[in-house]
Amino acid sequence: MHATLDLSTHAHLPVTLHDSGISIGQTTYTHGTVRINESAAIAVSQLINGWQMCALRMPLAGLVFQVSKELTSLGHFFPLIHTLNHAQRTEFRTRLNTLLQTPDIAITYTAQTGLTATPLIVRVMVLGQIVSCFWGRPEIVSALQRTKPSVALYANRQLYERAGGVGGGCYLPHEHHIMLEVNRLFEGFYTPTPNVSPFLHEFGHLLDGTHMRLNQLPHCVGRLPLMHDQDLRLWQKAKYREVQCYTAWYHQRPPSDGQMPLGHPYVFQNDGEFLAGHWEMFWRNPHAMAQQTPHLFNAFMFYVNQDPRTSLTHDYMGYVEGNRAFYQSGQQPWPTEMRYDTASD
Handedness of CA 74, 289, 14, 117 (dihedral sign): positive
The per-residue pLDDT of the chain, averaged, comes to 95
Percent of the chain with pLDDT over 90: 90
C-alpha 275 chain-centroid distance? 13
pLDDT for 342 equals 86
Instruction: Give the predicted TM-score (pTM) of the model.
Output: 0.96
Q: What are phi and psi of 327, to 5 degrees?
A: -65, -35
pLDDT confidence bin for 345, thresholds 50/70/90: low
Say how far apart CA 76 and CA 69 lie, in whole Å.
14
pLDDT for 55 equals 86
pLDDT confidence bin for 21, thresholds 50/70/90: confident
Q: How far apart are the first and last CA of the chain?
A: 66
Task: Note the pLDDT tens digit of each residue in 71-123.
Answer: 999 999 999 999 999 999 999 999 999 999 999 999 999 999 999 999 999 99
Task: Note the pLDDT tens digit of each residue in 45-78.
Answer: 999 999 888 889 999 999 999 999 999 999 999 9
Q: How wide is the angle at C-alpha 146 spanned by C-alphas 141 and 152, nearest 5°?
A: 80
Residue 243 has pLDDT above 80, yes or no: yes
Task: Note the pLDDT tens digit of each residue in 321-341.
Answer: 999 999 999 899 999 999 999
pLDDT confidence bin for 38, thresholds 50/70/90: confident
Do residues 154 and 180 touch, judged by C-beta distance below 8 A? yes
> What's the rounded mean pLDDT across residues 215-228?
97
Beta strand 14-18 with 150-154: parallel, antiparallel or unpaired? Answer: unpaired
Residue 1 has pLDDT above 60, yes or no: no
> What's the rounded mean pLDDT across residues 231-253?
95
pLDDT confidence bin for 248, thresholds 50/70/90: very high
pLDDT for 283 equals 98
> What's the rounded mean pLDDT across residues 24-33?
91
Do residues 325 and 261 touch, judged by C-beta distance below 8 A? no
Question: Quick one: CA torsion of 262, 266, 272, 276, rounded to 10 degrees?
Answer: -50
What is the chain's alpha carbon radius of gyration, rounded to the nearest angstrom?
A: 21
